[in-house]
Amino acid sequence: MPSRASIPPAPRRALLSVSDKTGLEDFARRLQALGFELVSTGGTARALRQAGLEVRDVAEVTGFPEMLEGRVKTLHPSIHGGLLGRWLEASHRQPMEQHGISPIDVLVVNLYPFEAVAARAATTAGVEAGELIENIDIGGPAMLRSGAKNFESVAVLTDPADYATVAGELEGSGSVSAATRWRLAQKVFVRTAAYDTAIATTLAELGAEVPAGRVRVEAEAFPARLHLDAVRERVLRYGENPHQRAAVYADPAMSNGRSLARAQPLQGKELSFNNLVDLEAAAQLAGEFDPAATAAVAIIKHTNPAGCGLGGSVREAYARALACDPLSAFGSVIGINRELDGDAAEAMAGLFVECIVAPSFSPAALERLHKKKNLRLVAYDAYDATQATPSPRLTTISGGWLLQDADSSLYAAGDEGWRVVTQRRPTAAEEDGLRFGWAVVKHVKSNAVLFARPGQILAVGAGQMSRVDAVRVAVLKAQLPLQASVLASDAFFPFPDGIEAAAAEGATAIVQPGGSVQDSACITACDRLGLAMVFTGTRHFKH
């Protein structure tokens, strides 16, 4: 390919057309100082002129005015020819010269704020249908795609964060490096894909009726077509096992403070695949409980609770959680619903732990745990009192995906569905233990049971093929007395044998969903044994 010096010179031209004008004035000023002709549209041109810059209107370049209330302005061969043409190649240069098309070296475009308008459409007030539709950008994505396709010749910027890099390269060497142009082109197609995904998802959520007047987006939990947009945050060292590759992806719509995928350790080694899975389990269990009402600590091993405790302080809650199964707590992940303070950190420092996740860490806690070099500390808060409907959960299967509602918190759900079915009603202490156990058992792999008392899990039976075996496993692992305990079961007892086994160990009250053909036999067994039993009508399978 001939060098630029061996062909007729072309003016250095930058086309700027943006909705978000952050950093635009400084970048345009640096381009103009380098000899670039600035070409712009509408509001962008006005903003640049107000800043004292010389700007040429797109309408002057195309020979056609902006028309149809601004819907048509850049969709023209003079623009797209300048973006797609390879000036260094005679086969492109000759027709460009013949038709008076100049190459565009730098393109600066960010798109109409459709996502922001769609977010307002999801509020109670909604938006006018016309405003939503008018914020579907046509010319912007077309220019971005044209320029990015021709990245060998055009530097395309859609993110103000890239202005300084491009200006610096131009000022340093007179051109934008091939590596930067390639990176920017990749970024363009990520942006346009996400933009189209937002449009497709939002319009689908408007439903089958033609939108008119004021509209409100009702988020469809199970859309006819599932659009996913995720950004790779980092490649992990490996997956569940060393021979498996893995990476973590983040939802770009979720703020960093609410995203475990984007959380970075405050100290310690890089997070692994298994760390992240266990951190999610720990944070979600601790996040069941309102931090303003009680401190909660969850100890997780291979996604199952090895202990969970409540207390007036984090240290008290930790002591209760640890007492459940101190052996399994070795090498665990700990989740906390409050800031980790120095006193609790001192208590935890004596145990080998992989990770601790909490909303925040006090300076005293950080100082105490800094000595444990490999301990990962992650700031993330799963508790959200305002989120009535948590995000749906996505699971992969061969050739597809399963999407379901989250199993939302029921700890503070009041008495809805809570029905005493035995002759004896639970005592106040039993009631507290039952509600606490019911909140925790949904975080245990099925078949699942656990023994509890108010604010403390005593023993856990997880992942068994029969419910009576789950009771026996919990009894086998118990480190604390089970006398006067309560039992929580994630699904119904198909036979009275599990209930009888729990009663033999000292359980005095049981909470379970009910719904078995043997419910009457189970109720009769409880009455015979003097147990109180509550049916919830809600199952908590966790596969």
Among all residues, which ones are annotated catalytic? Answer: 149, 302
**What tokens does 353 get?**
């732990």
Q: Which amino acid is at 537?
A: G
Task: State the chain's maximal CA–CA distance in angstroms.
Answer: 100
**What tokens does 421 get?**
């079915």
Nearest one of 382, 350, 349 to 366, comparing CA atoms: 349
* 3-state class (DSSP) for residue 238: coil
Residues in Cβ contact with 308 at an 8 Å cutoff, skipping those fewer than 6 apart: 285, 296, 297, 298, 299, 321, 324, 440, 456, 457
The DSSP letter of residue 210 is P
Burial class (CB in 10 A: 0-12, 13-18, 19+), 240: exposed
The DSSP letter of residue 291 is T
How far apart CA 324 and CA 307 sit, in angstroms, is: 5
Q: Are 510 and 531 in contact (CB under 8 A)?
A: yes
How far apart CA 264 and CA 332 sit, in angstroms, is: 19
Residue 511 CB neighbour total at 10 angstroms: 26
Nearest one of 271, 301, 300, 266 to 286, comparing CA atoms: 300
The residue to which tokens 């992806």 are assigned = 249
Residue 86 CB neighbour total at 10 angstroms: 16
Q: What is the secondary structure of 377-440 as a DSSP string?
A: EEE-----TT-SSPPPEEEEETTEEEEE------TT-TTTT-EE-SSSPPPHHHHHHHHHHHHH
How far apart CA 148 and CA 102 sit, in angstroms, is: 17
SS3 track for 20-69:
CCCCHHHHHHHHHHCCCEEEECHHHHHHHHHCCCCCEEHHHHHCCCCECC
Q: Are 473 and 461 in contact (CB under 8 A)?
A: yes
Q: Are 349 and 322 in contact (CB under 8 A)?
A: no
Q: Which amino acid is at 321?
A: A
How far apart CA 287 and CA 90 sit, in angstroms, is: 65
> Cα–Cα–Cα angle for 321, 322, 328, nearest 5°?
115
Q: Are 11 and 102 in contact (CB under 8 A)?
A: yes
The residue to which tokens 């979600």 are assigned = 284
